Structure 1
Amino acid sequence: MGHRTPLYDAHLAAGGKMVDFGGWDMPIHYGSQLEEHHAVRQHAGAFDVSHMTVVDVTGSDARAYLRHLLANDIDKVKAGRAIYTCMLNERGGVVDDLIVYKGDNDYRLVVNCATREKDLDWMEKQAGGFAVDIHERPDLAMIAVQGPEARAILEKVLCEAGAKAVAGLPFFGFEYVGEWLIARTGYTGEDGAEIILPGHKAEDLWQRLVDAGVRPTGLGARDTLRLEAGLNLYGNDMDEDITPWEAGLGWTVALDDAERDFVGRAALEKQKTEGHRQLLGLVLEGKGVLRAHQGVHVPGGSVGPDGEITSGTYSPTLGKAVALARLPAGTTGTVEVEIRNKRLNAQVVRAPFVRNGKATYKPL
C-alpha cells in the first residue's frame, strides 16, 4: 500500500482506478481517460496533485540560498509571482524541476513526489553556510482545476476573497487567502488555477467542484494533456544526466548576472559554447503510436539511431501521434522513427502541439 492523499476515499467513491505513482496510490482515470482529456480541453477538469511535495523556505538568507540553488533567478519576479526553474547538479544535470512561489520574505517550492527524498537531501546539502529553514509541508493538499471554464467555475465555488483572487490573478501570479495559496499555474496548456490548502479542507473543495460540473481527471489524461502542451516530465524528458539546454529548458536558465554562481553554472556555460542536442517535437505522418525510447533516424545520419523519443502518445485533440525527442542540433524536416521494426516518417516541429484547445505546432 502506498501513501494516500486526503482525497483517496473520494477517488474510490468516484470509481477511480488506483495505481502506484511514485509511491502514492493515485487515480489513473475514473472510467475514460479520453473523456477526461476532452473535458479539460473543452470545459474543466479537477486533478488531485496532493502527492507533490510542498516545501517552505524561510530565513534571513532564503533569497541568497535560492539564487545559489536554482538555475533561474528568483530576482526576476516580484512577490506574488511564481517562477519555473530547475535544481542542477555540478554537471548541469537536472536534479528536479519545480515551481517557486515568491512571497515578501518567504518562498514556497513544489517539487515532484518521485524525487522527494533526493530533492530534500540535495536542498539540505546546498544549505550549508546559509541561514535558512527548509520545512516540508505534508499537512497540505493540492488541487488543480484546468480548462477554459475553470476560472469562471472557481469564482462561483470559492469564498468571496478566493473568487476575487482567481479573477484578478495574472499568469503565474498567486495570492494567499487565509491558509490557501491560489495560483494561476498549471500543467495542461489550459487556463485555470492550482490551489494549495490544508489537507482536511481538500475533500470539501473537491466535492464543491464536482457539484459545479468539474470532471475528476486522473493521471492518464494529465500526461496526454501535458505532452500536447509540450511540457516536460521529469524522468522522461530530463534527469540528472540531461542539462536544461538538452531538455528544451534554456529559457529557465538565467546567466545575465555574472556574479550569481548557482550550482551547475560552469557546466552549463561550457556546454552552451560547445553545443548540445535539442529536445524537439515530432508529429507522426501516418498511423502508429509514438512511445518513449523509440529510436529516431535523421537524414544523412549514422547507421544507428541518431536520437530518441523521450515522451510520446496519441494526441486526443489532434487525432495524431506526437512526441518529444532528443535530436542532433539543427534537425529539421522529416525524420524516421523505429516502430516495431519499421521506420515511419515523422515531421519535426516546434512544440507546443496544443494550447487552449487549438493546434499550435510549427514545422521546422
Structure 2
Amino acid sequence: MTASSTLQTTPLNAAHRALGAKMVDFGGWDMPVNYGSQIAEHDAVRTDAGMFDVSHMCVVDLKGDQVRNFLRGLLANDVNKLQVPGKALYSCMLNPDGFVIDDLIVYYFTETWFRLVVNAGTAVKDVAWIEAQNAATNSGVTITARRDGNDPIALIAVQGPNARAKVWEVLPTAKAASEPMKPFNVVIVPGTAFGEAMIARTGYTGEDGFEIGVPAGQAEALWNALIGAGVKPAGLGARDTLRLEAGMNLYGQDMDETVNPLDAGLAWTIVIDGERDFIGKAALQRMGQNANFVGLILREKGGILRAHQSVVAASGALGEITSGTFSPSMQQAIALARVPLDVAIGDTVHVAIRDKKLAATVVKLPFVRNGKVLAV
C-alpha cells in the first residue's frame, strides 16, 4: 500500500509503512497516527525513549549581514536573547493585528546565519510572509526553505528519559561535539555516519531529548539505527497526548490567526517592553490580555474533554476548551482552556458535555513534566 498521490510524504514514509503504521491525512501529509498501541508509544516516551517523524515541519535558513535585525522586527520574542552561538529561542510570528501566524523555534549559529523550524501546515504561508517582510524592509536576507528542495533536511525527534543515551549509541562521534548541552541549545556536527547533523536539545513532549536534522537521504538509515538502539517509533496520537500533558500549544487548535497570543498563555514568549518594535506589537498593546489560559482536570465521570466545549465559570461567564484528551499518565480527562480573567487556579468550573455540565478543577500548567505528574 502506498500513500495517496494527493498527499505529501516525508522521507520516512516507506519506513512507517514497513512497520505497519496506521497512516492518516494530517494537514495534507501522509503521517503515522500510531504503530499499534498509542498508549504504549506514549508510555515509552514518558519512561524510556520514543521517536517521531517530524520531517513534515520545515527548516528555514536565514543568512545575511542584517539577519539579526530582521528577526528582531519579525518575531515577538527578542533574538537579542541569543548572544552565544548554539542557543535556541521559542517565539511567535505575528501579523499586524497581533494574531499568530505561527509559533516556531529560532536557532542562532553565527551573526550571519539563523535557522527557523516552522510548522508543517503553515510552512508555505510562513516562508511567503518572511520573504515579503524581507523585501519590505530591504534587509537583503537570503531565505532558504530546506524541506521540499534546496538540499532538504529531515527531522526526527527522540524524546524520553533515556533518549540522549540512546542517541549517543547511534551518533557516538556527535557526543563529544555536543555534550555538555543544556536545554534549548543546538550544535551542527559534520561528518557523522548520517552526514551533517543538527542536534537540538528541544522537543514537544515535556521530556528530555533531541530534535535531530539530517540530510533527507539519510533519514531512513538514522531511523532504523535508532530502532536498533531500542527507541520506539511513536505517531501523531502519542505526540498529541504528550504535548497536551506538557501544556504545550498546538497551532491551529490552541492559537491561530484569530487568537491573541496573550490569551493563549504565550505572554512569556513576547518581549513587549522597551523600544524594539516588531510586527503586531502595537496591536497587542491595544488589545491587552482578555483571558487566562489554564489546565482543566475533569472531576466527574461521564465524558472526555474536547476542543470547543464551553467552560462555565462560577460567575456564569463562558470560556472554551482549546484542546482536550484522556491523559494516559494521569488516567484522567484533561484539557487546555481559555477562561475569563477572574477564573483562578484551584477554582471549580463546569464543562458542557452533551446535555450535562460536569465539574472540573482549574490547574496550573503543565500537567506532567519529566515523567512526573504535577497537576492534581
TM-score class, shorter: over 0.9
Counterpart Cα distance in 1 of 2:274 and 2:188: 30
Deviation track 1:199-232 (CA, whole Å, cap 9, x = no partner) reads 0111111111101111000010000000000000
Counterpart Cα distance in 2 of 1:98 and 1:330: 30
Counterpart Cα distance in 1 of 2:252 and 2:273: 28
Partner of 1:267: 283
After TM superposition, where is structure 1 displaced by more than 4 Å over at least 4 residues in a row? none
Q: Which moved more, 1:335-344 or 1:127-136?
A: 127-136
Aligned to 1:5, the other structure's residue is in SS state coil
Partner of 1:318: 330
Partner of 2:356: 342
Amino acid at match of 1:155: W
Normalised to the residue count of structure 1, the TM-score between the two structures is 0.95
Partner of 2:370: 356
Aligned pair 1:106/2:119, yes or no? Answer: no
Alignment check: 8 A CA contact 1:155 1:164 kept: no
Q: What percent of counterpart residues are identical? A: 55
Aligned to 1:245, the other structure's residue is in SS state helix
Counterpart Cα distance in 1 of 2:220 and 2:75: 34
Please state how far the C-alpha of 1:197 moved relative to its aligned partner: 0.8
Deviation track 1:275-303 (CA, whole Å, cap 9, x = no partner) reads 4112111000022210000011001224x
Partner of 1:143: 156
Amino acid at match of 2:236: L
Amino acid at match of 2:287: Q
Amino acid at match of 1:170: K
Deviation track 1:35-70 (CA, whole Å, cap 9, x = no partner) reads 100010000001100000111001111111111100
Match of 2:266 among 243, 249, 254: 249
Residue 81 to residue 198, structure 1, CA distance change in 2 (3 Å): same
Match of 1:132 among 126, 133, 141: 141
Which segments of 5 or more consecutive residues in structure 1 lack a partner in the other structure?
none
Counterpart Cα distance in 2 of 1:17 and 1:165: 37
Please state how far the C-alpha of 1:191 moved relative to its aligned partner: 0.1
Partner of 1:164: 176
Match of 2:76 among 65, 71, 81: 71
Aligned pair 1:279/2:293, yes or no? Answer: yes
Aligned pair 1:115/2:116, yes or no? Answer: no
Counterpart Cα distance in 1 of 2:42 and 2:361: 24
Aligned to 1:9, the other structure's residue is in SS state helix
Please state how far the C-alpha of 1:192 moved relative to its aligned partner: 0.3
Match of 1:33 among 10, 13, 38: 38
Partner of 2:26: 21
Please state how far the C-alpha of 1:166 moved relative to its aligned partner: 4.5
Alignment check: 8 A CA contact 1:97 1:112 kept: yes
Aligned to 1:246, the other structure's residue is in SS state helix
Count of aligned positions = 355
Aligned pair 1:49/2:54, yes or no? Answer: yes
Amino acid at match of 1:134: I
C-alpha RMSD of matched pairs (Å): 1.1
Which segments of 5 or more consecutive residues in structure 2 lack a partner in the other structure?
191-195
Aligned pair 1:327/2:339, yes or no? Answer: yes
Partner of 1:301: 316
Counterpart Cα distance in 1 of 2:155 and 2:274: 34
Counterpart Cα distance in 2 of 1:192 and 1:330: 37
Partner of 2:256: 239
Normalised to the residue count of structure 2, the TM-score between the two structures is 0.92
Amino acid at match of 1:108: R
Partner of 1:176: 188
Counterpart Cα distance in 1 of 2:334 and 2:299: 10
Deviation track 1:48-107 (CA, whole Å, cap 9, x = no partner) reads 000001110011111111111000001112221110001001111000000001111201
Counterpart Cα distance in 1 of 2:13 and 2:198: 21
